[in-house]
Amino acid sequence: MNISKSSFSFYLFSSVVIFIVAIYSYALIDPNLTLFNSYLWVKFRDPLVYFGYYHRGYSMFVYSILIVALYVIYKIGVKNYRSLSLLKITGIISLVLLFSYPFLSHDFFNYIFDAKILTFYGQNPYTTPPSQFQGDEWLRFMHWVHRPYPYGPTFLAITLIPSYLAMGKFILSYFFFKLLSVIFYVLGVYYLQKMERKAAFILALHPLVIVEGLVNAHNDLLAVSFGIIGIYYLLSSRCAFGRMFLIISAGIKYLSLPLVILISKNKLTYFLALCGQLALLLYLSFAREIQPWYFLSLFTFLPFYKSIIFRSEIFLFSLLMSYYPYIYLGGWDKTYKVVMKHQIIWLGLFLNLIFMCYLIWKERRNIKLSLLQDVIGGNNK
């Protein structure tokens, strides 16, 4: 099969950027975490840790360049979705980012330990927090150890599979849980392309999905994938099957609850579910700290409202740039850093609203011009 020069250049550029993202992710690896007892691992890790922790200005610069590069890949890929191979793109991203480190969040390690509480210790994570196991060495690189399990029962059930397979070995747990995110990323893209190819490219290439869903491996990606699978079967008139997947999605993270009201080919329920999703996101934004990965839930609505992503790009970009205090200033240990994070996000939202107003004005202007041309054309006749 012949590959055009432009397509080859895109695949090559994408591969290089994704590979650098995977390497860079280890610049902020937890110093208490040792993945391998190997001299080669130490030679790989130490320069990156020194760069990430002691040259934070340069680190933030590299992060910013990588996010911009991911957006370039995303824009080019979506624009040329007819000529590019979705299989190759998802394959490259999946294979490389399987070996990335969740450098912007510690939730991934809580997923691993919460499942271990049940599979290894035989305790209920809903009633027994990680702090109860003081002798466990994994607690050295964990945060929020005093809280009980905060997620839905279907996510716990899913995570029991990689946890059992790992047999209490951390390195196996680490890669099996990363593999879990990769598998559902691929499934989400696969089922979405069965409904609309362009929407599948948006999910596959969007920087927020890549960073929060694959690199940081948040369980929101699983909820999105189950939601998309449920919508596919719902629209294929296999309503019972579709409803089951939507319930599983809601049971992973309760943020996905609005999906359960969806009814096949009923556009009112699509709109009401989206409104419910936005209402929950707004509530969480005011009631708790704004977290960028919460907004992955918007990608579940790609089968119905593809434009919701296109019209929110400035805001979504600000979510990724809101890690400035974490990368440049070091962690979320001070209140002013969290405030700065929120300021970046609110600024992005404000600019996005202005952009949306411009788009609405432009669309109305084009409609008026089109009507005027029709009138003029009719008079000439």
Q: How far apart are CA 231 and CA 188, in angstroms?
A: 11
How confident is the model at residue 140, as a pLDDT? 83
Question: What CA–CA distance (Å, rounded) separates 326 from 26?
Answer: 15
| Segment 104-116, tens digit of pLDDT | 998 999 999 999 9
87/94 Cα distance (integer angstroms): 10
Spatial distance between the Cα atoms of 172 and 208, rounded to a whole number of angstroms: 26
pLDDT of residue 359: 85
Say if CB 192 and CB 199 are below 8 A apart.
Answer: yes
What is the end-to-end Cα distance of the chain in Å, rounded? 52
Q: How far apart are CA 143 and CA 324, in angstroms?
A: 20
**pLDDT, tens digit, 9 for 90 and up, residues 144-176:** 889 999 999 999 999 999 999 998 899 999 999
- How many other CB atoms are there within 10 angstroms of residue 164's CB atom? 14
Ranges of the chain whose pLDDT falls below 70: 1-3, 368-381
Provide the angle, in degrees to the nearest 10, between the axes of the packed helices 56-79 and 5-24.
150
What is the Cα–Cα distance from 333 to 208, expressed in whole angstroms?
Answer: 24
Question: What distances in angstroms separate CA 362 from CA 308, 309, 358, 366, one per listed residue?
Answer: 17, 18, 6, 6
Write down the residue that tokens 């990608």 correspond to: 299
Answer positive or negative: Cα dihedral of 21, 22, 24, 27: positive
Angle between helices 107-119 and 153-166 (to 10 degrees): 80
Quick one: pLDDT at residue 2?
54
What the block records as the tokens of 103 is 């450098």
Residues 6+ apart with CB under 8 A from 347: 318
How many beta carbons lie within 10 A of that of residue 224, not counting itself?
Answer: 30
Query: Among 259, 50, 19, 255, which Cα is nearest to 151's?
Result: 255
Query: What are the residue ranges of helices labelled H in 124-238?
Result: 153-166, 170-195, 197-205, 207-208, 220-235
pLDDT, tens digit, 9 for 90 and up, residues 176-193: 999 999 999 999 999 999
Q: Which of 56, 55, 66 is nearest to 24 (CA)?
A: 66
Burial state string for 180-193 with b = 16 or more CB within 10 A and e = fewer than 16:
bbbebbbebbbbbb
Domain ranges of the chain: 305-381
Q: What is the pLDDT of residue 137?
A: 87
What integer pLDDT is reported at residue 1 of this predicted model? 46
- Residues found in the chain: 381
Own/partner contacts of 51-54, CB < 8 Å, gap of 24 or more, are: 51/27, 52/26, 52/27, 52/28, 52/103, 52/327, 53/27, 53/28, 53/330
